[in-house]
Structure 1
Amino acid sequence: MKLELPELQAYWEKLDYQEPSAIQEKVYEPLKNGTDVVGISPTGTGKTVAYTLPILAKTTIKGGLQTIIITPSQELAVQVAAVVKEWGKEVGLTVQPLIGGASIKRQLEKLKQKPEIIVGTAGRILEITEMKKLKLHQVATVILDEADQLLQQEQLATVRKVVAKIPNNPQMGFFSATSNELMKDLPKWFNVEPEWIDATDEDTSAGKVLHAYIETPNRKRTEMLKRLTQITDFRGLVFINNVANLVTVAEKLSYEGVSVAVLHGEKYKTERQHALQQFRNGKVKLLLTTDVASRGLDIQGLPYVIQYDIPVTKESYIHRSGRTARMGKAGTVLTLVNERDMREFKKVIAPLELELTRLYLFGGELVDQRPETVKDEVPEIAKLKSKTKEKEKNNEAPKKETKTEVVQPIVKKKKKKKDQKNKGARKKKKE
């Protein structure tokens, strides 16, 4: 893939990018030429750059707002905006994020810079448009990032309202790691007949993922998280299915002295950004999150994704596992299960045909054999078992028996008068 703008090509080489990923190669020409596109590719394969480069190639400097990129979450909008800004700066284009939770007054002030590209959440973009502070008449391209999420009922209506405010039929791009039944209704919702580009089977740019599990009773899962943090260079993004349980687990871990941060939709924007920054900087070892809050997050070099709760759908598993092993680096997706969970978990991921590895946490390391069978590979185990047996033997040594003498209380007998002795017996005899 040869980039037409020399500034972009030079920056590509400066970043030491080698061959483009399959999705980057396949969508470049269609997007640059104005074709409506659905782009499906595994997480961590460079989808943001895939749609950014062709958009920049056809954007006119000082030509007003020409592209809107919509994301399902504030965190993803900030992340995408950072990537687009990074590349846009090379060709002199202005990019502005518009997200809920941030100061709308400040955003309105920045709009005076007349950005060519806006990245944001549908709700905030619609709000500012209805205030007549954002004009969409020159918009030529709309990109939906994490499209399968944006097409869910709670977001679809808002997204459609934004698109409906664009006078001309804009070019549409729909990007996601997974496709679902909702994607089939794109012609009905947006009046488009997009070209489908699915690079799932061809894209090898994602790193190797170890899909593994540890059998853990529900009551021991918080303790297991604590023990996992003792692994060398450990950092884990932990998925919990509901906010209430997430908060409870976070409180228990904090009480135990474990460095932990939380990321969920009920937190303020600044709190979520702070949690993410702490995790990215390695100041906390665990970041507890829900599926919604972590959608599309890019955390470089993340070694572990931990599923405290099993995912509800295979799509959820795909997106969760996509947080690790990004752009060629290896990673582990570790699921905590009990016997019942395991049955449900296998049903959910059966269509993915994954090879699951059972792991054990022993001696501060994850091993793929039971501790009793790894003593040859880990010499410390034999020594530990020997000490344990010796201790048990000492504890079981017979103790010297000591007899305990029971002292009975002295009871003084009452002296009876002579005429009272055996009075009851005499009375009975008379009768």
Structure 2
Amino acid sequence: MSEITTTFGALGVPQPIVSVLATQGKETAFPIQVDTLPDTLSGRDVLGRGKTGSGKTLAFAIPMVARLGGALSGGKRRPGRPLGLVLAPTRELATQITAVIEPLADSYGMKVTTIFGGVSQQRQVAALKAGVDIIVACPGRLEDLMKQGFVGLDAIEISILDEADHMADLGFLPVVTRIMDKTPQSGQRMLFSATLDNGVDKLVRKYLHNEVLHSVDEANSPVAAMTHHVFETESVESKKLLVEKLASGTGRRVLFMRTKHHAKKLAKQLTDSGIPAVDLHGNLSQVQRDRNLAAFSAGDVRVLVATDVAARGVHVDDIELVIHVDPPAEHKAYLHRSGRTARAGKEGEVVTLVLPAQRKDTAALLRKADITVTPQQVTADSPAVAALVGDVAAYVKPAPRAAVQPQGAPRQRQSQGGQTQGGRSAGQGRSQGANAQRKRAVREGGAASGAPKQGGPKSGAARTGGQRTASTGGSRAFYSTASGSASQGSRPAGGRTRARG
């Protein structure tokens, strides 16, 4: 692959943006930026096809800010009437896009806000009322705010659809269509997608006019720096040892699981084994998701265990290894999961772990993904595994668990724990203690679904020697209310904990 030497200035990017990019160490453009910027900066509609990690966020952020900022006069901003719109399929991707746009927008005195569900709309509404120039939004919450009259799209000059194929996969195309119908036909539009299937082609035909197609293929994409491996192992137990070994290196790595429960369980197992890990999946609140991702980004933990919710939109620098602990169901998920590494020109490794019963399906999946790799039979001690792990990180002792309040002890925060559920009187001490512990677990971890059944006669937290759940970093652990020590067990979210003695 020949070295890319085209500068942003040479592509016609305005000096204020060039200066901001230079402070970030970005002076030369990637292929999709080189291809699209001359057209997008001139106002053309563009259809960009590029694999994840190819640099398309900057490819649309630069022209949006340059064109809106260059034409913006101080009095043009109006409450609830933004000029630029970016639609993204997930909260994480919307947040990542905003982080890219904001420094560029600041150079022109422009305001950007992010709109997505899962959190209170109060701050989003306040930002809209104060006036913003660009909104980065997930379709569902944006349409909700439109229906409430807090935002209108009649002033939109530039619209961008990012990860359009993923929006189609998630069933967002009807709401995307309703949103785009509210934007002026005369505005500039850009659509970026890895594929044009599942209805994305209909969006292109309906909303892009005289568009220019730009596609970055594998030969020219930074994603070409990705190396794929398939490790076959004979049993569930040998796979468990293999996962722990692969997770033990010093660099950042993302482990992908099929289900939310297994992601939570694996993160806890690794942490208990001295390998700090956090989970990321749809059962976590937005606050928990943000906290866990921030810990991973900051390097406080080096392992992220995720479901496909993290396959798109989660960009953390220098992820050296992606591990498909559970092979995905289809090839597009494989490509997007794998795209968490080898981003922005960096190299990266991808490993798929395969049990005997999964060999046929995994081979078919890789063929569809156009990935050619020879499977290797390995154990945790194999040289091929050691080569991927590299230096093994030092053991990190799991953090001590929060002390559990003994039964019958004076309770604090009476207003929150003083009344029992289900109409029981406040004088029933055993029920009070159980409810206080349940509420404290919910306040600390936000995982109400994992709390013992409220008001039930078999609520374990209400008995001496029973068990309760506490949530740390989104991963649930079990503690004895008698001793406060952690047990090594785990259970599915929403299950019931019974007293044992």
Fold shared per TM-score above 0.5: yes
Residue 29 of structure 1: aligned partner:
38
1:102 aligns with 2:114: no
- Aligned match of 1:387: none
Greater alpha carbon shift after TM alignment, 281-290 vs 137-146: 281-290
Q: 2:283 aligns with which of 266, 269, 291?
A: 266
Measure, in 1, the Cα distance between the counterparts of 2:40 and 2:351. 37
Q: Which residue of 2 aligns with 1:210?
A: 227
Which residue in the other structure is 1:334 paired with?
A: 351
1:39 maps to 2:44: no
Indicate yes or no: 2:365 matched with 1:356: no
The TM-score with structure 2 as length reference comes to 0.68
**2:163–2:194: 8 Å Cα contact kept in structure 1?**
yes
1:11 and 2:20 matched:
yes
Where do residues 223-262 of structure 1 align in structure 2 (5 Å cutoff)?
223-231=241-249, 233-262=250-279
| Contact 1:39–1:176 (CA under 8 A) maintained in structure 2 | yes
Contact 2:238 2:380 in 1 (8 A): no
The one-letter code sitting in structure 2 at the alignment partner of 1:20 is A
Q: Residues 167 and 240 of structure 1: is their aligned pair in 2 closer, same or farther, counting only changes over 3 Å?
A: same
Q: TM-score, normalised by structure 1?
A: 0.78
**What is the aligned partner in structure 2 of residue 120 from structure 1?**
137
Q: Secondary structure at the match of 1:154?
A: coil
Shift of 1:167: 4.5
Cα displacement string for residues 183-239 of structure 1 (whole angstroms, at most 9, x for unaligned residues): 3222565475643211124534346211012222334433322222333x1332111
Bigger shift: 147-156 or 134-143?
147-156
Q: How has the CA–CA distance of structure 1 residues 279 and 222 changed in structure 2, closer, same or farther, with 3 Å as cutoff?
A: farther
Q: Percent identity?
A: 27
How far is the alpha carbon of 1:282 from its aligned partner? 2.1
1:278 maps to which of 291, 295, 298: 295
Map 1:172-211 to 2 at 5 A: 172-187=189-204, 190=207, 192=209, 194-201=211-218, 203-206=220-223, 208-211=225-228
Q: Does 1:76 pair with 2:85?
A: no
Deviations 1:242-264 (A, max 9, x none): 22332333344344444221111
* CA–CA distance in structure 2, aligned partners of residues 367 and 257 of structure 1: 19
Say which SS state the counterpart of residue 263 (structure 2) adopts: helix
Structure 2 CA distance for aligned equivalents of residues 230 and 149 of structure 1: 32
CA distance in 1, matches of 2:204, 2:125: 33
Aligned pair in 2 of structure 1 residues 291, 183: CA closer, same or farther (>3 Å)? same
CA contact (8 A) 1:71 1:144 kept: yes
Q: Which has the higher contact order (CA 8 A, sep 6+)?
A: 1
Aligned-partner Cα distance in 2 for 1:362–1:251 = 20
- 3-state SS of 1:38 partner: strand
* Match in the other structure for 2:150: 133
**Structure 2: unaligned runs, 5 residues or longer:** 1-9, 388-501
Q: Distance in 1 between matches of 2:367 and 2:165?
A: 21
- Hey, what's the Cα distance between the residues in 2 that align with 1:334 and 1:201? 19
Tell me whether 146-155 or 202-211 shows the greater mean CA deviation. Answer: 202-211
Displacement, 1:174? 1.3
Partner of 1:31: helix, strand, or coil? helix
Secondary structure at the counterpart of residue 101 of structure 2 = helix
Task: Give the letter for the 2:105 counterpart.
Answer: G
Question: Any conservation in 1 of the 2:253–2:302 contact (CA below 8 Å)?
Answer: yes
1:345–1:364 distance in 2 versus 1, CA, 3 Å: closer
| Residue number in structure 2 paired with 1:375 | none
Aligned amino acid, residue 174 of structure 1: L
Q: Which amino acid is the alignment partner of residue 312 of structure 2? A: R
Which residue identity lines up with residue 184 of structure 1 in the other structure?
Answer: D
SS at match of 1:83: helix
1:415 matched to which residue of 2? none
Mark the CA change 1:152 to 1:367 in structure 2 (over 3 Å): closer, same or farther.
closer
Contact 1:137 1:168 in 2 (8 A): no
CA contact (8 A) 1:41 1:203 kept: no
Secondary structure of 2:304's counterpart equals strand
Relative to structure 1, the CA distance from residue 121 to residue 209 in structure 2 (aligned partners, 3 Å threshold; closer, same or farther) is: same
Q: Residues 287-333 of structure 1, C-alpha deviation per residue, up to 9 Å, x if partnerless?
A: 11111343121110001101011122222121111110111211110
Task: Please give the alpha-carbon distance, in whole angstroms, between the structure 1 residues aligned to 2:128 and 2:261.
Answer: 38
Corresponding letter in the other structure for 1:221: K
CA distance in 1, matches of 2:12, 2:208: 30
Residue 361 of structure 2 aligns with which residue?
344
Deviation at 1:353, TM superposition (A): 3.7
Go from structure 1 to structure 2 and tell me whether the alpha carbon gap of 1:207 and 1:273 turns closer, same or farther (over 3 Å shift).
Answer: farther
Deviations 1:88-111 (A, max 9, x none): 112222111112123311111122
The 1:87–1:224 alpha-carbon spacing in structure 2 relative to 1, beyond 3 Å, is: same
1:264-413 alignment runs, 5 A limit: 264-356=281-373, 358=375, 360=378, 366-367=384-385
Specify whether residues 56 and 367 from structure 1 end up closer, same or farther in structure 2 by C-alpha distance, changes over 3 A only: same
The whole-number CA distance in structure 1 between the counterparts of 2:369 and 2:218 is 12
Query: Where does the alignment leave 5 or more consecutive residues of structure 1 unmatched?
Result: 370-431
Q: Secondary structure at the match of 1:8?
A: helix
SS in 1 for 2:146: helix
Q: Is the 8 A contact 2:366 2:372 kept in 1?
A: no
With over 3 angstroms needed to count, the CA separation of the structure-2 counterparts of 1:98 and 1:135, relative to structure 1, is: same
Residues 90 and 212 of structure 1, relative CA distance in 2, 3 Å threshold: same
Q: Distance in 2 between matches of 1:168 and 1:179?
A: 22
CA distance in structure 2 between the partners assigned to 1:273 and 1:116 by the alignment: 25
* C-alpha separation in 2, matches of 1:368 and 1:252: 21
Amino acid at match of 1:122: P
Number of the residue aligned with 1:393: none
